[in-house]
Amino acid sequence: MEMTIAPSSTRPLAPVFDLAPLSPALGAEVVGLDLSSPPSEAIVTALRSALDRFGVLLFRGQHLDPEQHIAFSRALGPLQEVAQKQYQLANNPFIYVIGNVQEGGRQVGDPSVGRLWHSDQSFLPSPAYGSVLFGVQCPPEGAATLFANMYAAYDALPADVRERIGDLHAVHSFREYYELLRHRDPTQPELTDARRNAFPDVVHPLVRRNPRTGRLALFINPGYAIGIKELPGAEGEELLAFLCAHACKPEFVYAHQWRDGDVLIWDNLAVNHKGTEFDTARYVRRMHRTTIASTPDAYAATLIH
C-alpha cells in the first residue's frame, strides 16, 4: 500500500514523495527523496506530518557526507551536540559515531549504545525531538534497531490505568542509566563528577501529547526511569515495571534490519527504541547520528496539564 503525500497548500503542487508503511505497528518508508540536498520548506512540513503519523521514517540508498547529514537534520530543527565527546566524529560535535568501528586501533564508535528500551535523552529537562541515524556500514545479520509505538501503547492501556497515570511523573536519571551501561560494558569510562553534575535527575509526566495531532503517548523510559515521583517505594516500582513491560509488547514493535545507506528518523515522543546485538567478531558496524533538540517551549507544548 502506498500513499502520496503532497504538502498542504492552496496551490496544486506535484507530490513530493510517496509513503509506504513499514509495519502494522509504526513506520513508513519515504520513497523518492534524496537527502543529500537540503529539503524545501514544503518537504520539511510534509516530513514532519509524516513523522507525526508514523513515528519513524526510513529513506533507503542514501549517500550523506557529514555536512549533508547535518544540513538535512538542521532543516528539521536545532541540533544538539554529542554528549559523549570521545565518540563524536573528529572535529564534528554534531555527529555521534555508533558501532564497533575502529580507526588506527582506536575505538571511534560507541560500541554499546541503546541496548535497553529508551527514548533519546529523556534525562534532559527538554528531551530531544528526534534523531537521524545513518547506516554507513551495517552488519548483514543482527544489529536490528527495534521501535515501539508509544501512542498505541497508551491507547491499549486499561481505562483505569490511563486514568491513574494522567497525573503522575517518572524520575529519569542519567546517572543510573550510565551505571547500568557500565555494568554491561566495563570498557565505558567512569562517570566524571562534571558529567554527573551536568545531568541531575529530572521528572517527566507519564503521559505527553503530540502538540500537532493531539494524540497522547505513554512516555516511559525503561533505560532511565528510576521511579514515580508521586509513588515512592514498591507501589511506584510495580507501576513502572508494569508500564515498561506493556510498552514493548510485540504488537507495538517494528524491527528495522539495516542496509548500508539507510537513514531513519524517529520522533522520541512517538516511539521508544532499542539496539540489538550482532557478531562483533565477524562484522563492523558504523552508524552516524545527529540529534534534533527540543526547546523548553516545544517541550511545554507536549504537557497535558
Residue 275 contacts ligand OGA per CB under 6 A: yes
Residue 293 contacts ligand OGA per CB under 6 A: no
- In whole angstroms, the minimum distance from the beta carbon of 149 to Mn ion comes to 16
Nearer to Mn ion by Cβ, of 59 and 224: the residue is 224
- In whole angstroms, the minimum distance from the beta carbon of 3 to ligand OGA comes to 27
Q: Which residues in the 91-120 window bind Mn ion by CB under 5 A?
A: 114, 120
Residues 179-184: contacts with CB under 8 Å, at least 24 apart? 180/116, 180/223, 181/112, 184/112, 184/115
Query: Phi-psi category of 279—alpha, beta or left, where left has phi over 0 and alpha has psi -120 to 50?
Result: beta
Residue 222 contacts Mn ion per CB under 5 A: no
The CA-CA-CA angle for residues 220, 184, 93, to 5°, reads 70
Residue 169's binding partner, choosing from ligand OGA, Mn ion, none, with beta-carbon cut-off 5 to 8 A by kind? none
Residue 51's binding partner, choosing from ligand OGA, Mn ion, none, with beta-carbon cut-off 5 to 8 A by kind? none
Residue type at 241 in one-letter notation: A
Give exposure, 115-154, as e/b (b: 16+ Cβ within 10 Å).
Answer: ebbbbbbbbbebbbbbbbbbbbebbeebbbbbbbbbbbbb
- In whole angstroms, the minimum distance from the beta carbon of 9 to ligand OGA comes to 34
- In whole angstroms, the minimum distance from the beta carbon of 110 to ligand OGA comes to 9
Instruction: For cell 509526566, name the residue.
Output: 205
Q: List residues binding ligand OGA (CB under 6 A).
A: 98, 113-114, 120, 131, 133, 145, 273, 275, 287, 289
Q: List residues binding Mn ion (CB under 5 A).
A: 114, 120
